[in-house]
Structure 1
Amino acid sequence: MLQILLTGLLWFAAIGCGLLAGLYFAFSTFIMTALGRIGQAAGMAAMNAINVAIVQSLFLPIFLATTAAGAALAVTGLFRFGEPGAMAMIAGGVLYGLGMFVVTMIFNVPLNNALAATDPVSHEAAALWARYLADWTAWNHVRTITSTAACALFIAAIAAR
């Protein structure tokens, strides 16, 4: 029974990482570029609207549950260290936790909060928006890469089992 639960958790984590990697990939490859092209006030307003809507959507439960699953898999991998797939579980969980969750909380969320607190037509808005586009996107690249790698590691753990 425990093996079935562990396999289910691995599948859930792999699918969750894949979904979030795809979302982050879209932002990194074209959404942020498009927002930067539509003008400062419109871009800021659109990103603020996205930031409000995203936490009211199915994104947030998947974001949190995938993070919890990754952490649980990393800990489980430590207790099953000699078993096939354990190293991939540990690496996937740690990579996802640090590269996606911690990066989000330390970098992307504070940038979102600063954006929300800025009047789009104020004097400081232009500098903030330029910095936001560059910094937020750079950290989002980290989230894209680490979510994709964690997905691959969880799939490798499934294959190894």
Structure 2
Amino acid sequence: MLQMLITGLLWFSAIGCGLLAGLYFAFSTFVMTALGRIGQASGIAAMNAINVTIVQSLFMPIFLGTTATSAALAAIALFRWSEPGAIAMAAGGVLYVLGMFIVTMIFNVPLNNALAAADPASQEAASLWARYLTDWTWWNHVRTIASTVACALFIAAIAAR
């Protein structure tokens, strides 16, 4: 019974990491570049609209659920260290929680909040937008890599079981 539960958590986490890695990859490779090309006020308005909409979508249950299951898998792996796939399971869980969730909370969300508070047409917004495009995207690259590698580690743990 416990083995089935762990396997289910691994599958859910692998799929969740893969979905989020794809979303972050899209933002890192073309969405942010496109927003930067449409002009400051329009880019800020579009990003603010994305940030409002995303927290009201299916993104949030996947984001929070994958974080919870990844943390649980890391903890479970510590108690089942000698089992096949435990190292990959622990590494995937820790990497995802630190490299995706913690990075999001410490870096991306505060940048989103600052952008939401700015007047898109102001001079102050110009420097904020330039910094946002650079800093937010850099931290998004970190989230993309962490989510992708965690997905691969969870798949490796499934294969090892």
The one-letter code sitting in structure 1 at the alignment partner of 2:37 is R
Cα offset, 1:123, TM superposition: 1.5
Aligned length: 161
The one-letter code sitting in structure 1 at the alignment partner of 2:121 is V
The 1-side partners of 2:90 and 2:34 are apart by 37
Aligned equivalent of 1:82? 82
Task: Report whether the alignment pairs 1:67 with 2:67.
Answer: yes
With normalisation by structure 2, the TM-score equals 1.00
Aligned equivalent of 1:38? 38
Corresponding residue SS for 1:98:
helix
After TM superposition, the structure 1 = structure 2 runs for residues 146-161 of structure 1, keeping only pairs within 5 Å, are: 146-161=146-161
The 2-side partners of 1:123 and 1:144 are apart by 31
Aligned equivalent of 1:140? 140
Aligned equivalent of 2:94? 94
Cα offset, 1:36, TM superposition: 0.1
After TM superposition, the structure 1 = structure 2 runs for residues 116-131 of structure 1, keeping only pairs within 5 Å, are: 116-131=116-131
Cα offset, 1:125, TM superposition: 0.7
Instruction: Report runs of 4+ in structure 1 exceeding 2 Å deviation.
Output: none
With normalisation by structure 1, the TM-score equals 1.00
The one-letter code sitting in structure 1 at the alignment partner of 2:14 is A
The 1-side partners of 2:5 and 2:96 are apart by 20
Cα offset, 1:80, TM superposition: 0.2
Gaps of 5+ in 1: none
Aligned equivalent of 2:113? 113
The 2-side partners of 1:139 and 1:125 are apart by 20
The one-letter code sitting in structure 1 at the alignment partner of 2:36 is G
Aligned equivalent of 1:14? 14
The 2-side partners of 1:117 and 1:100 are apart by 24
Percent identity between the two aligned chains: 83
The 1-side partners of 2:66 and 2:58 are apart by 12
Aligned Cα root-mean-square deviation (Å): 0.3
